[in-house]
Amino acid sequence: MSDLVAKLKGIVGDEYVVTADMSQYLRGKEQPAAVVFPGSTEEVSGIVKAANDANVKVNVGGKVVETKGLSGGIAIVMSRMNQIEEIDHENLTCWVQAGMNHQELIEKLAAENLYFAPEPYAVSTSSIGGCFGIGDVDTKTFNYLPTRTFILAYESVLPTGDIYKVGTKCIKCVSGYDMIHFIVGTRATLGIITRVLVKLLPMPKAFRAVIADIPSLQAAAVAFKAIQKRKIFPSRMNAVSKALGNDVMDAKGALVLVDIESYPVSAAQYAKEIEAELRIAGATFTKVVEDKAEYDEVVAKWLKIREKISLEENKVKFTVGPAKVGTALANLTGIVGNLEENPCVLVEGLNGKITVFSKNADADAVAINKMAMGLGGNVSGLLGSQLRCKAYNDNEMLEEISRVLNSIRSQFDPKGIMAPGIKL
Amino acid sequence: MLSHSAIDKLKSICGEKDVITSKIGMYAYGYDGTMLWGVPEGIVMPESTQEVVDVVNLCREQGITIVPRGAGTNESGGSVPVDGCIIMNFSRMKKILEVDIENYVAIVEPGVVNWDIQEMLAKYGYYYPPDPASWKASTMGGNLGECSGGPKCFKYGVTRDFIYGLEVVLPSGKVIWVGGKDFSSEPMYDMTRIFVGSEGTLGFITKIAIRIQPVPAAKKTMLAIYNTPEDGSQSVADIVAAGIIPTTLEMMDNLIINTTEDFVHAGNPRDAGALLILEVDGHPGDMDEQVKTIGEIVKKANAREFKVATSADEVDKIWLARRVAFGSVARVRPNYGVNDITVPRSKFPQAIAGIEKVKKEFGVTIGTVAHAGDGNLHPLILFDQRDKEEVETVHAAEKELCKMAIALEGTVSGEHGIGLLKKPLMIQEYGPATMDVFKKIKRAFDPQSQFNPGKLLDL
């Protein structure tokens, strides 16, 4: 092992290899042999090649690395690769290193009157590499599309240590397989993204937020449906249970957070109509936030709530479609109990998606998936895909999806060294 | 040549009349929108996922390769038969299975024509944004295979951005569902995205969940006329810099203005260097501000004329020339080759200059239509395919256009795909390391190259 550490020090320099007091960089019980802080793509490549030679596992993180299955392996922290390399106003693109903090990137771009739409997964720690590694479908997806649509190109180190680059500044490209978007959400199983070319948008001309204290999540769902019937599609249209809402204001019931990014005329009119619908649905308090500084404060509070939800391990996420959120909420009570008292419920009105805390997440996911499938939806992600196959008693499909996923993974990572905690 | 027993088995799967093996019957399936040509061993037209599975299993057992085909409108040779293959024509799988307006989703079969979906959705005040020029004929399966674009891409995105989920028959003969009726249902890896644009080389799509959306409440259509294409491209850059993302920014050059005038008399000035069709959409109250800003920008970029349509008739008149652009060039020469080069928006003027250079160096006639906001140019090289020498010159000129796009840090294809036509250029665009990554994907799905062999890349 000392050979490996010496090799790593030779690649990145002594000061960028930590072998004692590693806990601040790690999440999980298992201990890697070293935490390494590379400063370039070439250094990442060197580290991965060293891991291959020593036959040890590797995982990566922006500030913190998950250690499941990483005993004796290498934890790569990307925080040194935290620079914006280029902002291209003409093409609305930005080359950024993977270790750059996601929120910091948003703020630096905003200072240049540019907009990067994806929300940070966990605002205090998320890196831009993590943003695309996780590839979230966030609460702004309805208008801005999922996170993956904001990557135009990247440089990556394969699990073998080889470097490749794909993509251009063109917003349209159908040359070759769509690795640009496929890499998003692969959680480092197919390699380590080191630099990313992200797509930007012009800064919206006007911002408004509408916040409301509403008696129940069910009442919020009624308002959300009515707002969409008016053909109003805000940037976010979320409701959270009282426990989460208290981080924004001292609410008596559930908290509704709607925000609008648009032009001045429509923003003002939409805010008025949204407020009216929330009142009709029973909101006891509503406020339209017009001041930009106050608006930013509301969004910052929302991002803290989002971080809390993202880091909650005992949760189930599912989608039923925007029109069926009310029915799903009613049915959900029968599975997880009173939602208003639940510490973590998020209702995404536009995505038709619900996230709920459950003490018995694995068991409840089965019941929730059954209920969601009855409404034309399902539990999200890999778990949802597995549960759907099981619900249809379709083992053949389950096995085939698993075979294909693992076949792709083994093509990229023949020795199986990357992201050992991820099982497909 | 297919054996009699293989033909009999195919007929027992798809039905007697939906298997074609006669030379004359197969003639219509030998080509696509390019000049490439091939002869298949047979044509099968399945009507259900099960029939697709049965044909795939039979072909795998007998070592027969399969080339999928929709309407055959593609521009890269993707649906052209290769030696020893059969064509799987999806035109019988054309049902719209589900339309769920309130949840913004529809499920369709791959043989449904894009336009038919638009017509059906229009009844509800909804639409499906990807609108390739071929939309009145091209099928959804084909649109997904090539990840088609269209004029609205600049604001709304391309085909891949509107696909929630897919049912796919794999080369193993197994059926999988990837994604669902939303963007959160992928089994961790975004399998939907890897199938979209894969030109039928990884799996055959048999059901498609698409995202639909309401027609915007308001739209403004504008026309700007310039003395030079450079002035037009300056307008494009300035509009984006002003924070406006139009739905459409379509450009036509002088040659196309003239061929369309000859054809439909749209009323555009024949001496203009370029015209730009611009559209913005959204809330009615936001239209005036955007139109005013665009008007100021185009005037500053020396537009000699700027019109805002005030009626549906005027909108149609503005679009008339663009709609007939490709067909109109037949008045000049009997054939044209469509190119699909794409460059970063800032390099659009250099791409226009590059096209001029190719015109002079190769002595070819080129008219250019462009989705200017995307940096996606369609230089149409006009020629007569009966003149073999001229055909060779056209091929050389096309290669040069692609090299120019790569040199400008662009791509050889923005929306038409690679197929057979641009496959030799892939290595120049990507280099060996990235090509090897593409091969890993193909090997994971189809190690025997049973599905659309030789397209996009060679293993």
Specify the pLDDT at position A393. Answer: 87
User: Does the CB of A236 have a partner CB in chain B at under 8 Å?
Assistant: no
Q: How many structural domains compose chain A? A: 3
Q: What CATH number has the domain bearing residue A307? A: 3.40.462.10
User: Sign of dihedral through CA atoms A118, A121, A123, A127?
Assistant: negative
Over range B127-152, report the average pLDDT. Answer: 94
| Partners of residue A165 in chain B, C-beta under 8 Å | 433-434
Contact A378 B445 (CB under 8 A): no
> Rounded distance, CA A418 to CA A189, Å?
5
Which tens digits make up the pLDDT trace of A212-259?
Answer: 999 999 999 999 999 999 999 999 999 999 999 998 889 899 999 999
**Is A314 within a domain?**
yes
Q: Are residues A241 and A370 in the same domain?
A: yes
Min Cα–Cα distance to chain B from A52, Å: 18
CB contact under 8 A, B282 and A266: yes
pLDDT band at residue A208 under the 50/70/90 scheme:
very high
Whole-number Å distance between alpha carbons of B273 and B229 = 6
Q: What is residue B228's three-state secondary structure?
A: coil
Residues in chain A with CB shorter than 8 Å from the CB of B158 are 172, 174
Which chain B residues are Cβ-neighbours of A148 within 8 angstroms?
190, 193
Same domain, A253 and A341: yes
Instruction: Kindly report the number of other CB atoms within 10 A of residue B344's CB atom.
Output: 23
Q: Label residue A55 left, alpha or beta by phi (over 0 means left) and psi (-120 to 50 means alpha).
A: left
| CATH (domain of B363) | 3.30.70.2740
Last residue of a domain, one of B327, B347, B372: B327
What average pLDDT does range A137-149 have in this prediction? 95
Q: Which residue of A lies nearest to B288 if distances are taken between CA atoms?
A: A265
On whether both A222 and A358 belong to a single domain, the answer is yes
Same domain for A124 and A89, yes or no, is yes
Mean pLDDT for all residues in chain A = 96
Which domain CATH number covers A29?
A: 3.30.43.10
Of residues B330, B401, B326, the one with CA closest to residue B361: B401
Contact B26, B42 (CB under 8 A): yes
Domain-embedded: residue B289: yes
Give residue-wise pLDDT tens across range B78-111: 999 998 999 999 999 999 999 999 999 999 999 9
For the residues B375-395, what does the mean pLDDT come to?
96
User: Do both A37 and A105 map to the same domain?
Assistant: no
**Contact partners, residue A57, CB within 8 Å, separation at least 6:** A51, A69, A70, A71, A72, A73, A74, A417, A418, A420
Give the integer Cα–Cα distance in Å for A157 and A162. 6
Q: Is the domain of B243 the same as that of B289?
A: yes
Are B70 and B110 within one domain? no
Write out pLDDT tens, residues A53-102.
999 999 999 999 999 999 999 999 999 999 999 999 999 999 999 999 99
Residues B289 and B337 in one domain: no
- Calculate how close chain B gets to A63, using CA atoms only, in Å: 22
Please indicate if any CB of chain B lies within 8 Å of the CB of A374. no
For B:107-136, CB contacts with A below 8 A are: none
Residue A378 CA to residue A101 CA, distance in Å, equals 32
Same domain? B230 vs B337:
no
Residue A1 has pLDDT above 70, yes or no: no
The DSSP bridge pattern shows strands A151-157 and A163-167 to be: antiparallel
Q: What is the largest CA-CA distance in chain B?
A: 71
pLDDT > 70? residue A44? yes
pLDDT beyond 70 at A16: yes
Q: Which of B301, B286, B322, B340 is nearest to B74 (CA)?
A: B340
| B58 and B113, same domain (yes or no) | no
> Is A197 in the same domain as A255?
no
When mean pLDDT is compared across B27-36, B249-258, B302-311, the lowest value belongs to B27-36
Same domain, B27 and B80: yes
The dihedral region occupied by A69, where left means phi > 0, alpha psi between -120 and 50, and beta the remainder, is left
Q: How many CB pairs under 8 A join A and B?
A: 267
| DSSP-derived pairing of the beta strands A74-77 and A58-61 | parallel
**Residue B377 domain-assigned (yes or no):** yes
Give chain A positions within 8 Å (CB) of B191: 404
Residues of A in contact with B412 (CB under 8 A): 175
Q: Is B356 on the interface with A (CB under 8 A)?
A: no
Nearest CB to A321; choose among B103, B190, B214: B103
In a domain, B238, yes or no: yes
Q: Which of A176, A186, A317 sits opposite B426 (nearest CB)?
A: A176
- Asked if residue A265 belongs to a domain, the reply is yes
Q: Look at the alpha carbons of B290, B295, B296, B298 in this order and tell me if their dihedral is positive or negative.
A: positive
Q: What are phi and psi of A93, to 5 degrees?
A: -135, 165
Instruction: Please tell me if residue A266 touches chain B, with a CB cutoff of 8 Å.
Output: yes
Boundary residue ending a domain (A163, A186, A202)? A202
**Amino acid identity for residue A36 in this structure:** V
Domain end marker among A47, A62, A77: A77
- Overall domain count for chain B: 4
What residues of chain A lie within 8 A of the CB of B78, using their CB? none
Q: Given an 8 Å threshold on Cβ–Cβ distance, is B161 in contact with A266? A: no
Position B239 in a domain:
yes
* Chain A CB contacts of B234 below 8 Å: none
B71 and B125: one domain? no
Q: Would you call B441 and A263 a contact, using CB atoms and an 8 Å cutoff? A: no
In-domain check, residue B348: yes
* A163 shares its domain with A281: no
Are residues B238 and B315 both part of a single domain?
A: yes
H or E stretch covering B326: helix B325-328
In the predicted model, is pLDDT for residue A142 greater than 90? yes
In tens, the pLDDT along B156-201 reads: 999 999 999 999 999 999 999 999 999 999 989 999 999 999 999 9
Q: Cβ–Cβ of A322/B342 closer than 8 Å?
A: no
Instruction: Dig out the tokens for B376 from the structure.
Output: 């996606």
CA-based nearest residue to B165, from A225, A407, A236, A376: A376
Yes or no, beta carbons of A386 and B426 under 8 Å apart: no
Task: Judge if A239 and A322 occupy the same domain.
Answer: yes
Task: Say yes or no for a CB contact (<8 Å) between A397 and B174.
Answer: yes
Of the three residues B53, B68, B89, the one that is the final residue of a domain is B89
In a shared domain, residues B109 and B66? no
Question: By the 8 A CB rule, do A117 and A106 touch?
Answer: no
Contact criterion met (CB < 8 Å) for A382 and B188:
yes
Confidence of residue A2 (pLDDT cuts 50, 70, 90): confident
Question: Are residue A262 and residue A373 in the same domain, yes or no?
Answer: yes
Of B174, B197, B214, the one marking the end of a domain is B214
Confidence category of residue B255, pLDDT binned at 50, 70, 90: very high
Q: Is residue A126 part of a domain?
A: yes
Residue B340, Ramachandran bin (φ over 0: left; ψ between -120 and 50: alpha; else beta): alpha
Q: Which of B157, B194, B413 sits opposite A182 (nearest CB)?
A: B194
CB contact under 8 A, A263 and B290: yes
Residues A218 and A344 in one domain: yes
For A176, other C-beta atoms within 10 Å of its C-beta total 26
The answer to whether residues A225 and A362 belong to one domain is yes
Is residue B458 in a domain? no
Nearest CA in chain B to A392: B177
- The domain of A104 spans 84-202
Q: Is A134 exposed, middle or buried (0-12, 13-18, 19+ CB in 10 A)?
A: middle
Q: Which of residues 80-99 of A touch B (CB under 8 A)?
A: 88-93
pLDDT for the residue B331: 87
- Which of B146, B289, B346 has the CB atom closest to A91's CB atom? B346
Domain limits for position B73: 4-89
Asked whether the beta carbons of B146 and B197 are under 8 A apart, the reply is: yes
| Residues 401-420 in A contacting B (C-alpha not used; CB under 8 Å) | 401, 404-405, 407-408, 411-412
Identify the closest residue of chain A to B412 by CA–CA distance. A175
Is B452 among the domain residues?
A: no
How far is Cα A144 from Cα B457, in angstroms, rounded to an integer? 33
Residues 432-451 of B with CB under 8 A from A: 433-438, 440-445
Residue A407 located in a structural domain:
no
Does residue A365 form part of some domain?
A: yes
H or E, element range at B289: helix B284-300
Helices within A208-359 (DSSP H only): 217-229, 242-245, 264-280, 292-311, 325-336
Helix (H) or strand (E) holding B401, with range, is helix B388-407
B166 and B84 both lie in a single domain: no
Nearest partner of B225 among B192, B252, B197, judged by Cα: B252
> A172, B374: Cβ pair inside 8 Å?
yes
Specify the DSSP element, H or E, that contains B178.
Answer: strand B175-179
- In tens, the pLDDT along A259-292 reads 999 999 999 999 999 999 999 999 999 999 999 9
User: Residue A92 domain-assigned?
Assistant: yes
Mean pLDDT of A24-31: 95
**A160 CB near a chain B CB, below 8 Å?**
no
Q: Are residues B350 and B410 in the same domain?
A: yes
By the 8 A CB rule, do B79 and B65 touch?
no
Question: Of A77, A111, A139, at which residue does a domain stop?
Answer: A77
CATH number of the domain bearing residue A196: 3.30.465.10
Task: Name the percent of chain B lying above pLDDT 70.
Answer: 100
Residue A377 domain-assigned? Answer: yes
Please list, in sequence order, all residues whose beta carbon lies within 8 angstroms of the beta carbon of residue B66, skipping any fewer than 6 positions away: B55, B56, B59, B85, B86, B87, B88, B204, B450, B451, B452
Enumerate the residues of chain A whose CB falls inside 8 A of the CB of residue B181: 319, 321, 376-377
Q: Residue B259 sits in a domain of what CATH number?
A: 3.30.70.2190
Q: What is the mean pLDDT of chain B?
A: 96
pLDDT, tens digit (0-9, with 9 covering 90-100), for B310-346: 999 999 999 999 999 999 999 899 999 999 999 999 9
Task: Give residue A365's region: left, alpha or beta (phi > 0; psi -120 to 50).
Answer: alpha
pLDDT at B1: 82
Q: Mark whether B323 and B337 lie in a shared domain.
A: no
- Is the pLDDT at A15 greater than 90, yes or no? yes
Q: Does B454 reside within a domain?
A: no
Do A29 and A142 belong to one domain?
no
- Over residues B56-68, the mean pLDDT reads 97
CB B174 within 8 A of CB B187: no
Give me the mean pLDDT over the A171-200 stretch.
Answer: 96
